[in-house]
Amino acid sequence: MLTREQAEEIFSRLQKHSTADELECLFYGTHSALTRFANNTIHQNMAEDNFGVSVRTVFSGRTARATTNKFDDESLREVVRASESLAKVQENDPDLLPLAGPSERRLSHAALPGRYFAATRELTPAERADAVSRIVAVAEKQKLTAAGIFSSAESVEAVFNSRGLRAWHAQTGAEISITMLAEDSSGWQKANSPDVACLNPVSLAEIAANKALSSARPREIPPGQYTVILEPAAVLDTVGFAFFDFSGLAILDQRSFLNNRIGQKLFGENISIWDDVRHPLQSGSPFDGEGMCRERLQLVEQGVVKRLVYARASAEKMKKSEHASTVGPIEATGHGFPIPNEMGEAPMNIVFEGRGDTQTVEQMIATSERAILVTRLWYIREVDPYEKILTGMTRDGTFLVEHGKVICGLRNFRFNQSLIDMLSQVESMSQPVRTSGEESFDMVVPAMKVKGFNFTEVTKF
């Protein structure tokens, strides 16, 4: 694994080759391993080491980036030469700021929870295979077919620049995803964590198996508007479409559904959302693509959109714009992507605020006269960007709830649903949990009971 001392030495060599006004280097490195299984047997085991450095040079308002995964002198000299050659032929960018210095980082006093675990780093193929064998045992006991993955990784990322900024982060991660297949039904469960000890393969397998068994011989009911109970993965994969719009640059570009809506009550009063990299259930680097520390921000308070996130340049541009008086506080918040980019920034550590009147999914079921329980959603696409209307399908466990009980499995539905309306019609929520899905990045979200969810047609399975 690339160490901080090695990165420092490589950066020193890169500086010697550079003639640019300023130099910024992004270091990245991952040792990852994956065990994949299908048809109740392991069919792939792989491991990969991938390390590199991305070099950005600046000449009087012109900048460009080049990347290499070779650290010998000639390769480092060549990557600097490539970056400088590209930078010199760029158009001058009037919005380009000098590189961030150490004094601009505004280090948080809150400690970052431990995200590097020796047990995860040292996980062996044999240990992953043993976990898969226990998953398969659950499947075979129930006459099901299991498929999925068990992966582990150790990674580093860093930003060093010629103004003296040094930002370094290392963490581990492990992930299990399981699909259980029956003749006419399926069940699914997924989880990840920096600490592999937080993952229970058998428990995940049993949940997925139970969903497959319980949804067998699915009935068909007509499409329409129903009360739904969305498990956390279904919530995550829908709300994930909102957060790239909480960007200063998205507002400036007039491509955000929050244009002309900041400060308004857009969602229900029970919806409050933070971006908080230091939350104990979150993961990831505490700094952004320029090395700026990520700040803890409340994005939504009791349904009201309170503020946006900003990279350094977006904040400066917003202060001079016609929107400055309507978007709330304007300051660099440590949410930028590496420069150059077209996206600007986004909150990547979403945490829904817990409430005192939460319900478990079981309690939501017990208090429902009629509802549809949804395990997860997939193939989600945006239909209307401004009203945030999404379309997609249910999958791997869709159930009819009547008189407080799960009655049977259902054929899956396609939905067309406004995310704004969905978050305005939440009747109850569970405690937020760390959640993984397939359509969005990991977040800390609750399960939700939502009225008036719009299913438009029934699928064939």
Query: From first to last of its 461 residues, what are the pLDDT tens digits of the chain?
Result: 899 999 999 999 999 999 999 999 999 999 999 999 999 999 999 999 999 999 999 999 999 999 999 999 999 999 999 999 999 999 999 999 999 999 887 766 678 999 999 999 999 999 999 999 999 999 999 999 999 999 999 999 999 999 999 999 999 999 999 999 999 999 999 999 999 999 999 999 999 999 999 999 999 999 999 999 999 999 999 999 999 999 999 999 999 999 999 999 999 999 999 999 999 999 999 999 999 999 999 999 999 999 999 999 999 999 999 999 999 999 999 999 999 999 999 999 999 999 888 999 999 999 999 999 999 999 999 999 999 999 999 999 999 999 999 999 999 999 999 999 999 999 999 999 999 999 999 999 999 999 999 999 999 88
Q: Which two tokens stand for residue 41?
A: 């047997």
Distances 253 to 310, 318, 342 between C-alpha atoms, Å: 14, 11, 10
Cα–Cα nearest to 395, from 409, 419, 375? 375
Contacts of 312-315 with C-beta under 8 Å, sequence gap 24+, read 312/97, 312/100, 312/104, 312/336, 313/95, 313/96, 313/97, 313/339, 313/344, 314/247, 314/248, 314/249, 314/252, 314/344, 314/345, 315/248
What is d(CA 460, CA 382) in angstroms, rounded to the nearest whole number?
23
Asked if residue 329 lies in contact with residue 307, where contact means CB atoms within 8 angstroms, the answer is: yes
Please report the pLDDT score of residue 61 as a whole number.
94
Asked if residue 171 lies in contact with residue 1, where contact means CB atoms within 8 angstroms, the answer is: no
What is d(CA 297, CA 274) in angstroms, rounded to the nearest whole number?
6
- φ, ψ of residue 392 in degrees (nearest 5): 175, -165
**CATH superfamily membership of 4-204:** PmbA/TldD superfamily (3.30.2290.10)
Cα–Cα nearest to 297, from 249, 346, 337, 338? 346
Amino acid at the residue 332:
A
Element (H, E) at 274: strand 273-275
Please report the pLDDT score of residue 460 as a whole number.
84
- The rounded radius of gyration (Å) of the Cα atoms in the chain is 24
Element (H, E) at 49: strand 41-59
What is d(CA 199, CA 220) in angstroms, rounded to the nearest whole number?
35
Please report the pLDDT score of residue 103 as a whole number.
84
Q: Which two tokens stand for residue 160?
A: 């060093």
Give the residue extent of every domain in the chain.
4-204, 219-239+355-458
What is d(CA 32, CA 41) in angstroms, rounded to the nearest whole number?
21
Q: Which two tokens stand for residue 280?
A: 């104990």
As beta bridge partners, residue 31 has 49, 154
SS3 287: strand
Residue 112 class from Cβ within 10 Å (0-12 exposed, 13-18 middle, 19+ buried)?
middle
